[in-house]
Amino acid sequence: DAPLLQVDDLHVRFRVRGQDVRAVNGLSYTLAEGETVAILGESGSGKSVAAQAVMGILDTPPARVERGSVRLRGVELLGLPERRRRAYRADRIAMIFQDALTALNPVFTVGDQLREMYRVHRGLGRRAARDRAVELMERVRIPSAARRLGDHPHQFSGGMRQRIMIAMALALEPDVLIADEPTTALDVTVQAQIMRLLAGLQDELTMGMVLITHDLGVVAGVADRIVVMYAGSVAEQSPARDLYARPAHPYTRGLLASVPRLDRRGGPLVPIAGAPPDPAALPPGCPFHPRCPRAEAVCAVERPPLVTVAPGHDAACHFAAEVHAEQEVPGAGSV
Ligand code: SF4
Ligand code: MG
């Protein structure tokens, strides 16, 4: 059986001011039904561009997929005619974004927008479409759903708007949901509620979810596997538990040391020094070397390949095996 979603060796390039920018440089992952893969990275790491490529909504030009493959249950999506691609987007792969206000139409009521999905894509009549819209709003736990159908997006709080965007994305029960920084604009308590809602809906619908975030805190307890991206490339990929317990890349170590963890009290938080590189001017060798506390001479010269340190656990570091072999991160492994 073909996997639900298989992304293979994805390369995306931009052409900016006459310059080639490699935004995504060889990303591969597989997503099974009901599974969550988190794509973790700072802004500019290529994680959102990669998601847009998978979704088929890259702005072209200047962005284009240079090579690679995106297969949904074995069907290659790259290069599909736009009309067929759109059908997949409506039905099979859905996406939610950081900012619900840009995803929702400000002019129409949320009821209109939800009903429209069912009328256009499912051919339901007015009455049936309205009933489904109410069900959907209840499913994402909008209080007094029926009464709020007539409200416009701006009449809802940020958290409630995010729920409505989730409702729109899930209306046609997609197989795959791509969530790009779904909680970044929200305050911390609302973030947790939205993540719980997403996890619950994912269970109910046995969807696969690709969760794109810069925030390791959002990923904990939700992701089955984690892909860490840095400067357009995969730095490390691993089952979530192994990544937390025994990261094999100094960048991942840095990320883990820089976020508060419920399971690891005490211990100061140490931010990673420096900033990610300009994607148009990547340093030679390992792209992380200017910030890496472990860098040696070879790192500035030779680009490290992805090496496997444990089953399903790869890292792109010349010293991945050593980093991985070091003692477990204290208190980790319970996420
Ligand atoms: Fe650091 Fe070198 Fe490993 Fe890159 S290859 S992460 S610079 S130790
Ligand atoms: Mg982004």
Ligand nearest to the CA of 51: 2
Ligand nearest to the CA of 286: 1
261 CA distance to ligand 1 centroid (A)?
A: 25
Q: Whose CA is nearest to atom 6 of ligand 1?
A: 317
Q: Where do the domains of the chain lie, and which CATH numbers do they carry? A: 33-62+80-92+175-335 (3.40.50.300), 100-173 (no CATH)
Ligand nearest to the CA of 315: 1
Q: What type of residue is 236?
A: E
- Evaluated on CA atoms 318, 19, 50, 40, the torsion sign reads positive
DSSP state of 268: -
Q: Whose CA is nearest to atom 8 of ligand 1?
A: 295
Q: Whose CA is nearest to atom 7 of ligand 1?
A: 289
Distance from C-alpha of 22 to C-alpha of 279, rounded to nearest angstrom: 7
Q: Whose CA is nearest to atom 5 of ligand 1?
A: 317
What is the share, in percent, of the chain residues with pLDDT greater than 70? 94
Predicted ipTM of the assembly:
0.94
Instruction: Report pLDDT digits (tens) over 137-147.
Output: 999 999 999 99
Lowest-pLDDT range of 63-77, 172-186, 252-266, 273-287: 252-266
60 pLDDT higher than 70: no
Residue 2's nearest CA partner among 73, 88, 77, 75 is 73
Strands 64-72 and 233-239, sheet pairing: unpaired
- What b-and-e string marks burial along 101-134, b requiring 16 or more CB atoms within 10 Å of the CB? eebbeeeebbbebbbbbbbeeeebeeeebbebbb
36 or 98: whose pLDDT is higher?
Answer: 36
Average of pLDDT values for 182-199?
A: 89
**What's this model's pTM, rounded to 2 decimal places?**
0.92
Distance from C-alpha of 40 to C-alpha of 59, rounded to nearest angstrom: 22
254 CA distance to ligand 1 centroid (A)?
A: 12
285 pLDDT higher than 70: yes
189 CA distance to ligand 1 centroid (A)?
A: 36
11 CA distance to ligand 2 centroid (A)?
A: 17
Q: What is the pLDDT of residue 333?
A: 46
150 CA distance to ligand 2 centroid (A)?
A: 31
148 CA distance to ligand 2 centroid (A)?
A: 30
Question: Do residues 179 and 211 touch, judged by C-beta distance below 8 A?
Answer: yes
Strands (DSSP E) found in 58-182: 64-72, 75-76, 93-96, 176-180
Distance from C-alpha of 86 to C-alpha of 84, rounded to nearest angstrom: 5
* Residues surrounding ion ligand 2 at CB below 5 Å: 48
pLDDT bucket at 178, cuts 50 / 70 / 90: very high
Ligand nearest to the CA of 228: 1
Residues with CB under 6 A from ligand 1: 249-250, 286, 288-289, 292, 294-295, 299, 304, 317-319
Instruction: Report pLDDT digits (tens) over 235-272.
Output: 999 999 999 999 999 999 999 888 776 555 556 677 88
